[in-house]
Structure 1
């Protein structure tokens, strides 16, 4: 996982399941589920790009 994908996950811009789908996250299902619980997606108001 690159710093851009990690940043998107941390602020809730994209979820772990989406990152895994587009190959930005290479992890097993249990890891994706744990990350989804730890970093839920939410509406973000960032104008900066990742």
Structure 2
């Protein structure tokens, strides 16, 4: 199994499945939330012609 972690990855198939991020203040945290929501929306609305996600 080639996952870049020496065979330790059991759920993500070698993909990054999470990331820790820090915000300086409430405004920064709000901005992070907006980026996450925008990314989820983009992923949910972007699909290839055969229906699989790209």
Tell me which structure has the larger Cα radius of gyration: 2
TM class by smaller structure: under 0.3
Which structure has more RCO (C-alpha within 8 Å, separation ≥ 6)? 1
Using structure 1 for the length normalisation, give the TM-score. Answer: 0.27
Higher share of residues assigned helix: 1
